[in-house]
């Protein structure tokens, strides 16, 4: 059944967050006929998503052939008036196009030196600076976990927690797309690495002037041995695909993200990592468009992983998983601190129709690469948790050559370390673990 959505959710959460354009989802196998009928009825000029075209102009319909989605500068009412017959033209859903933001936790403290850390230091950092929930009194197992990751001399606490340092796999031969603010292509830690890049932001090169994307790429695929400081990259031999879908200011439209996804699928990336999104409200459903795109990506052998969002302020305020991570076919990632507690900002699986948390990963005080001359920085957020999962997924893809799409999803979740003291609504299957 076709759905027309005029707002996509309560106005209080969408005011100022849409572009005025609409996403149109076509049935599989009917996309060509559907876009032809749509452009004929509305008078919009059909434009194919290409290297040179990343968003539609007025009176244009930008068509993503691989995804079966169009972006048009017209609304459902105008479509009806133009005589568009959705059922006959294979249209499944029409939704407003949203603006998405990079996810970084408020109150993040940056540029903390990478040194060996005491339990007391980490405890004080969490409580005094990030105001995170302290470990439960007498919880010896969790305290033991904290002790195990206190020393970052050789590797970050995140890599220790996901057991990347124990893995015999490197991600070699696996293509991972990080869709974010781009990458510092001049960073010395990436010298000699083959980086395939593409910008979907008009007027902006892939070169990262924000830092968010470079940090995520470092966590997912940074060096095995950093020149200074600890190892910070999970899948250090994976092939880097850096897609700039967020501007240097940290925002981007749904169509720019869809462009990045289509690019990743065409390039046969096994994993797509997206540390971005838009806030949702209790009771709000997921995007039919992004859900279909994610399912079609899995069918093509590409697993999409996305940040659950940083809108919560636990324990007083807990917010549902953000768009597009709230889609059932997109792996939603929550953030943990170094005592394996849920980060105060991490969103929760609240909405009954989709919107669950699928997996958790380190997302507090994460050390990784940052554009020069800063070079390294510590950031917090579900954004920092997501590339840990993407890196582990790359290791699992290397270890299991036949596992792609839904099969790779199953490997990621079934291998997770169960966190018995935490709710699955907060951490899903548990802490992601490397093979």
Residues serving a catalytic function are: 180, 212, 383
d(CA 214, CA 16): 28
Tokens, residue 303: 């697993």
Do the Cβ atoms of 229 and 155 come closer than 8 Å? no
Convert 382-398 into a string of H (helix), E (strand) and C (coil).
Answer: HHHHHHHHHHHHHHHHH
Q: Which of 106, 143, 104 is nearest to 123 (CA)?
A: 143
Contacts of 43 (CB under 8 A, 6+ apart): 59, 82
Q: Distance (Å, rounded) from C-alpha 186 to C-alpha 315?
A: 41
Residue 227 tokens read as 């020149």
Residue 145's nearest CA partner among 130, 164, 160 is: 160
Q: Establish whether the linkage from the previous residue to 315 is cis, with ω within 30° of 0.
A: yes
For the chain, the 3-state helix, strand and coil shares in percent, each to the nearest 5, are: 30, 25, 50
Tokens (6 digits) for 195: 């980086």
Of the candidates 210, 223, 222, the one whose C-alpha atom is nearest the C-alpha of residue 182 is: 210
β-partners of residue 368 are 377
Number of residues that this document lists for the chain:
435
Give the three-class secondary structure for 175.
Answer: strand
Closest to 379 measured CA to CA, from 183, 125, 106, 101: 106
Q: Is the peptide bond before 373 cis (omega within 30 degrees of 0)?
A: yes
Tokens of 62: 């930008």
Q: Are 181 and 213 in contact (CB under 8 A)?
A: yes
């Amino acid at each position: 059944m076709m759905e027309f959505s005029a707002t996509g959710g309560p106005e209080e959460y969408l005011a100022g967050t849409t572009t005025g354009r609409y996403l149109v989802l076509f049935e599989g196998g009917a996309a060509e006929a559907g876009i032809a009928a749509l452009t004929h009825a509305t008078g919009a000029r059909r434009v194919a998503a290409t290297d040179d075209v990343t968003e539609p102009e007025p009176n244009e319909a930008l068509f993503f052939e691989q995804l079966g989605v169009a972006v048009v500068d017209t609304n459902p009412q105008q479509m009806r008036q133009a005589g568009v017959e959705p059922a006959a033209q294979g249209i499944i859903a029409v939704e407003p196009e949203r603006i998405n933001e990079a996810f970084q936790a408020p109150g993040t403290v940056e540029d903390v030196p990478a040194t060996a850390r005491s339990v007391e230091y980490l405890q004080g950092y969490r409580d005094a600076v990030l105001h995170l929930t302290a470990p439960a009194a007498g919880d010896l197992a969790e305290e033991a976990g904290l002790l195990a990751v206190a020393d970052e001399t050789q590797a970050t606490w995140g890599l220790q927690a996901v057991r990347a340092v124990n893995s015999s796999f490197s991600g070699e031969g696996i293509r991972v797309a990080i869709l974010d603010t781009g990458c510092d292509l001049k960073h010395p830690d990436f010298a000699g690495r083959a980086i395939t890049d593409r910008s979907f932001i008009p007027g902006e090169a892939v070169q990262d002037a924000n830092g968010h994307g470079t940090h995520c790429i470092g966590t997912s695929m940074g060096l095995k041995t950093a020149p200074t400081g600890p190892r910070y990259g999970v899948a250090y031999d994976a092939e880097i695909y850096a897609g700039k879908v967020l501007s240097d200011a940290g925002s981007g439209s749904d169509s720019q993200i869809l462009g990045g996804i289509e690019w990743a699928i065409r390039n046969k990336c096994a994993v797509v990592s997206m540390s971005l999104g838009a806030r949702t409200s209790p009771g709000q459903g997921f995007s039919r468009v992004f859900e279909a795109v994610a399912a079609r990506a899995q069918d093509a052998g590409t697993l999409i992983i996305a940040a659950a969002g940083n809108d919560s302020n636990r324990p007083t305020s807990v917010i549902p998983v953000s768009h597009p991570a709230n889609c059932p076919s997109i792996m939603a990632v929550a953030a943990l601190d170094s005592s394996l507690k849920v980060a105060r900002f991490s969103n929760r699986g609240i909405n009954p129709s989709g919107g669950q948390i699928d997996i958790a990963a380190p997302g507090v005080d994460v050390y990784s690469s940052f554009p020069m001359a800063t070079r390294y920085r510590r950031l917090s957020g579900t954004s920092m948790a997501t590339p840990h999962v993407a890196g582990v997924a790359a290791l699992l893809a290397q270890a299991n050559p036949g596992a792609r799409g839904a099969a790779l999803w199953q490997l990621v979740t079934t291998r997770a370390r169960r966190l018995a003291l935490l709710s699955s609504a907060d951490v899903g299957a548990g802490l992601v673990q490397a093979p």
